[in-house]
């Protein structure tokens, strides 16, 4: 789809047959505005209302997040839809209370947590106000809002080298480093799982704002290539100067921040 396409053009395949359409959404920076402290994130009520309508009428509605699935559900406050958490490591289905985690991934949780907690006890990260986020099988290091973000980022870069030397995998997002197990983890895996369980879906859309969402884009387009889907729609969310150029290049269209995402949901909900 050319980048000159309008929002109406992009959404038309979904609106044509909602029962055979999937709406897949990132959360932070997409449904919920980016905040200084990750624990303060929430989806505003004006965004939740059209999402609730969409969940009742579309064939598949799910959130795909880098956070734990239970945390993602708390932020969105909608228990009827499915949440893929930790970049595909776990899935929390609508109406259930316990996420499913692959055994080979769960085995790494203790090692990842021990590394993350050990790093946070260091004097330098404490002084620079780098914050840790324990996501069970992933440990995140945030420096957004630190007094000296450049110095904090440099310290986290050194931390990343130590993590890789210890056999972990690192992944960079918007002012966050994630230390992960050395197993395949990405949002594309979660998207592939969701589509495999929704054989009636013919058209799927994914909306995301960061580099980690590129794998979800790729999974949708691969599903078209192998005949699983008839059409894929990849929407990027602009975050001003922080918009990754790779996201802008890969997206069929960019919308302006979480407010732009709300507009998309309102159109899909017929609001």
Q: What pLDDT, in 10s, does the model give residues 101-127?
A: 877 787 788 899 999 999 999 999 999
Res 37: pLDDT: 81
Do domains 7-103+185-269 and 109-180 share one topology? The answer is: no
The Cα–Cα gap between 103 and 3 comes to 41
The Cα–Cα gap between 39 and 37 comes to 6
Res 106: pLDDT: 77
Mean pLDDT of the chain: 93
In CATH terms, the superfamily for domain 7-103+185-269 is HAD superfamily/HAD-like (3.40.50.1000)
The Cα–Cα gap between 85 and 101 comes to 10
Res 271: pLDDT: 65
Q: What is 109-180's CATH number, 3.30.70.1020, 3.30.1370.100, 3.40.50.720, 3.40.50.20?
A: 3.30.70.1020
Q: What pLDDT, in 10s, does the model give residues 121-153?
A: 999 999 999 999 998 888 999 999 999 999 999
**Could you tell me the residue ranges of all domains in the chain?**
7-103+185-269, 109-180
The Cα–Cα gap between 122 and 126 comes to 7
**pTM value?**
0.79
Res 104: pLDDT: 73
Which two tokens mark 198? 């929704």
- Residue 46 forms beta bridges with which residues? none
pLDDT-based confidence at 2, cuts 50/70/90? Answer: very low
Q: Are strands 231-238 and 253-256 parallel, antiparallel or unpaired?
A: parallel
CB distance 94 to 107 below 8 Å: no
């Amino acid at each position: 789809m050319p980048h000159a396409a309008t929002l109406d053009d992009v959404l038309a395949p979904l609106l044509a047959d909602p029962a055979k359409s999937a709406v897949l959404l990132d959360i932070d920076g997409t449904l919920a505005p980016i905040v200084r402290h990750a624990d303060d994130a929430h989806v505003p009520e004006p965004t939740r209302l059209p999402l609730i309508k969409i969940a009742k009428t579309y064939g598949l509605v799910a959130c795909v997040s880098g956070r734990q699935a239970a945390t993602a559900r708390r932020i969105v406050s909608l228990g009827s839809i499915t949440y893929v958490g930790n970049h595909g490591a776990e899935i929390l289905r609508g109406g259930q209370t316990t996420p499913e985690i692959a055994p080979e991934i769960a085995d790494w949780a203790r090692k990842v947590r021990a590394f993350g907690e050990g790093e946070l006890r260091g004097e330098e990260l404490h002084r620079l106000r780098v914050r840790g986020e324990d996501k069970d099988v992933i440990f995140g290091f945030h420096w957004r809002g630190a007094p000296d973000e450049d110095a904090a980022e440099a310290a986290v870069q050194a931390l990343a080298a130590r993590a890789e030397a210890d056999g972990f995998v690192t992944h960079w997002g918007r002012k966050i480093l994630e230390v992960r197990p050395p197993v395949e983890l990405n949002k594309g895996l979660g998207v592939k799982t969701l589509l495999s369980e929704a054989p009636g879906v013919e058209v799927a859309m994914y909306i995301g704002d960061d580099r980690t969402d590129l794998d979800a884009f790729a999974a949708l387009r691969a599903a078209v290539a192998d005949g699983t889907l008839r059409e894929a729609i990849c929407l990027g969310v602009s975050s001003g100067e922080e918009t990754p150029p790779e996201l802008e290049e890969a997206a069929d269209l960019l919308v302006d921040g979480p407010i732009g995402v709300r507009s998309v949901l309102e159109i899909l909900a017929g609001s």
